């Protein structure tokens, strides 16, 4: 920048360069230190991360609003194009669902009668919070999302995150106004599940791909693609029977599960406290996903 370097500058320049190099090395060491610290003191690093996420939550929330509008407009345009085909499909589906409704009504009344007969007390209604996804890691190394509800809304660590389709993941970090959800596809996600058809237990293990694997299955088990996978309720974080996905692929000693959630459409999630107090574990847990109650 200086046109004619004077004597002071001639000495100062190498010193400044040295200082800069030193500062650079310190920062590099600091970055590695942070990584190591994250391994040793998980809680401290988590708190720092939660604070940063909290600080950015209003910005993320505000920015995601117009994005959502644009997305829904594109979606609407696309819908217009396939209106006729969809109409036919829906009419057919409606007919089928009406038949199911009759069956459901009958079962409901039967269920009520049987409950009265047994003097059955239904369990507590789980504490639940509805939240919007405001940030998606989108990285290849973690699968988690940030939602715009935190401790002030009653979110706690360990709550299950679900949509109308099924299980999304669970809350791992909670800030004042934001919370991070570890998706079932993340490398660190392990969920006890059961195959709905055979009743075989397994563990659903994420590996950052879109389709998590099933672990601890007996080798001689005959598994068919399309079989439903639901939570088993072991471990107490999730209730039994929460839908997770379908068997997608079986082969080479590896069973993959296609989650029911379309990851790209993940928008609104419900965070539900399914963790049962010890004394209530004896009774069957109540699975109530109806937000109206």
- Contact positions vs other proteins (CB under 8 A): 20, 23-24, 27-28, 30-35, 37-39, 45, 48-49, 52-53, 56, 59-60, 63-64, 67, 71, 133-146, 173, 180, 187-188, 207-210, 263-267
Nearer to other proteins, 139 or 292 (CB): 139
CB 193 → other proteins: shortest distance, Å?
Answer: 20
Nearer to other proteins, 133 or 162 (CB): 133
Given the structure tokens 């003097």, which residue do they identify?
119
Nearer to other proteins, 127 or 137 (CB): 137
Nearer to other proteins, 173 or 273 (CB): 173
CB 134 → other proteins: shortest distance, Å?
Answer: 7
The candidate with the shortest Cα–Cα distance to 188, out of 174, 170, 175, is 170
Q: Please calculate the CA angle 143-134-58 and round it to the nearest 5 degrees.
A: 135
Nearer to other proteins, 129 or 182 (CB): 182
Given the structure tokens 């989650």, which residue do they identify?
259
DSSP for residue 83: H
Q: Which two tokens stand for residue 163?
A: 């949509």
Cα 84 off chain centre by: 34
SS3 174: strand
Nearer to other proteins, 59 or 90 (CB): 59
CB 151 → other proteins: shortest distance, Å?
Answer: 17
Please name the residues in contact with 99: beta carbons below 8 A apart, sequence gap of 6 or more: none
Q: What is the C-alpha separation between 15 and 18, in angstroms, rounded?
A: 5
Tally of helices (H runs) and strands (E runs) in the chain: 3, 12
CB 35 → other proteins: shortest distance, Å?
Answer: 4
CB 81 → other proteins: shortest distance, Å?
Answer: 14
CB 185 → other proteins: shortest distance, Å?
Answer: 8
Q: What is the C-alpha separation between 90 and 47, in angstroms, rounded?
A: 48
Q: Which two tokens stand for residue 203?
A: 């563990």
């Amino acid at each position: 920048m200086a046109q004619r370097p004077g004597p002071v500058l001639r000495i100062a320049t190498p010193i400044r360069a040295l200082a800069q190099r030193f500062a650079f090395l310190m920062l590099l060491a600091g970055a590695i230190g942070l990584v190591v610290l994250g391994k040793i003191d998980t809680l401290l690093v988590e708190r720092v991360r939660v604070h940063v996420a909290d600080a950015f939550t209003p910005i993320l929330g505000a920015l995601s609003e117009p994005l959502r509008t644009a997305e829904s407009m594109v979606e609407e345009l696309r819908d217009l194009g396939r209106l006729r085909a969809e109409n036919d499909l829906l009419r057919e589906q409606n007919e089928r669902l009406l038949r199911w409704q009759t069956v459901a009504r009958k079962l409901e009344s039967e269920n009520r009668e049987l409950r009265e007969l047994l003097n059955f007390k239904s369990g507590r209604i789980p504490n639940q919070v509805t939240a919007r996804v405001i940030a998606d890691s989108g990285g290849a190394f973690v699968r988690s999302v940030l939602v715009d509800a935190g401790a002030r809304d009653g979110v706690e660590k360990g709550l299950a995150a679900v949509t109308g389709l099924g299980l999304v993941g669970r809350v791992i970090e909670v800030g004042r106004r934001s919370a991070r959800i570890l998706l079932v596809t993340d490398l660190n996600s392990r969920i006890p599940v059961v195959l709905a058809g055979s009743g075989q237990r397994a563990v659903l293990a994420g590996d950052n791909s879109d389709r998590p694997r099933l672990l601890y299955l007996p080798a001689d088990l005959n598994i068919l693609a399309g079989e439903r996978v639901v939570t088993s309720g072991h471990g107490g974080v999730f209730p039994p029977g929460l839908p997770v996905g379908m068997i997608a692929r079986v082969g080479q000693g590896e069973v993959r599960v296609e989650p029911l959630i379309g990851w790209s459409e993940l928008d609104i999630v419900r965070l539900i406290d399914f963790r049962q107090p010890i004394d209530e574990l004896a009774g069957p847990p109540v699975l109530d996903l109806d937000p109206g109650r």
